[in-house]
Copies of this chain bind each other. A is one copy, B any other.
Amino acid sequence: MTDTVDTIKAGDDEQVVQGIAVTFMATYDIVQRAKEIGANLIITHEPTYYNHEDKVGWLAEDAVFAAKKRLVDESGVTIFRFHDYCHRRVPDFILLGMLEALGWQEYSSKEQPKSPLFVTIPGMTLRDIANHVKESLGAPFVRVVGKDELVCRRIGLLSGYGGVGARAIPFFHNDDLDLVIAGEGPEWETPEYVRDAVAAGFAKGLIVVGHQKSEEAGMQSVANYLRDRFKDIPVSFLGGHQALRVM
């Protein structure tokens, strides 16, 4: 790929790797934890500096950016973003991790090569699926549109920002889905489509997991993959709380 965000974001790309920390996002806390366990390579799925392309010019005068940059520089870690290739792999690392965490491997169609992942499960209510998603993905809460008692069979799994309308909405119709489970997306798009669908009498639902918990199991899969291939290098997965909590 010539146009990719999968680049080195900080540190020396020539240093010998002593340990790898795989994570959803190289937050301030994660950089500290990587240093504590002796990992000098962080592989992060999401950006380090609060925008998709990790541009930093707009943050030049920002004290939080300065503090984080200082921590990163002083800790001596190299940060590599593994995002585009992670999703481009067949099967998509992130969706595979999500599927496995949900325990729905047997329900996925074998032929499909990539995102979204369609599964056809035995009938299960939206309420029960929401609880299963919370428990299996470690999400403290999910946001839901649809009736608690809606029985879902055909489900589309979309990680991260896959909840965006242009991506998620066509699947409901084209693939006759009962339910989409997505990371996040603008509130005026897919949630409002599903709200209208329900009001018009269609049996549809939406579960918005949150970005981190929709992708963290996938990064755990990446850690497992690396551990198998680099047996002499300690590989750790660093998970944790998501940023947003509900009040």
- By a beta-carbon cutoff of 8 Å, the part of chain A in contact with chain B is 25, 27-29, 32, 46-47, 50-52, 58-59, 61-64, 67-68, 71, 127, 130-131, 134, 141-145, 161, 165-166, 169-170, 172-174, 183-184, 186-197, 199-202, 204, 208, 210-212, 242-247
Q: Which residues of B contact A169 (CB under 8 A)?
A: 50, 59, 62
With A25-B188, A143-B246 as known contacts, state yes or no: A166 contacts B58, CB within 8 Å: yes
Give Cα A214–Cα B204 distance, bound, in whole angstroms: 26
With A144-B245, A243-B195 as known contacts, state yes or no: A187 contacts B211, CB within 8 Å: yes
Q: How far is the CB of A94 from chain B (nearest CB, A)?
A: 14
Q: Are A192 and B71 in contact (CB under 8 A)?
A: no
Q: Which residues of B contact A71 (CB under 8 A)?
A: 200
Q: Which residues of B contact A142 (CB under 8 A)?
A: 246-247
**10 pairs, CB–CB < 8 Å, chain A vs chain B:** A27-B192, A27-B199, A51-B166, A59-B169, A63-B173, A64-B172, A131-B247, A141-B246, A187-B210, A187-B244
Q: Are A186 and B202 in contact (CB under 8 A)?
A: no
Q: Are B28 and A200 in contact (CB under 8 A)?
A: yes
Q: Which residues of B contact A161 (CB under 8 A)?
A: 186
Give Cα A62–Cα B244 distance, bound, in whole angstroms: 34
Give Cα A210–Cα B145 distance, bound, in whole angstroms: 14
Q: Are A247 and B196 in contact (CB under 8 A)?
A: no
Give Cα A61–Cα B141 distance, bound, in whole angstroms: 34
Give Cα A144–Cα B241 distance, bound, in whole angstroms: 13
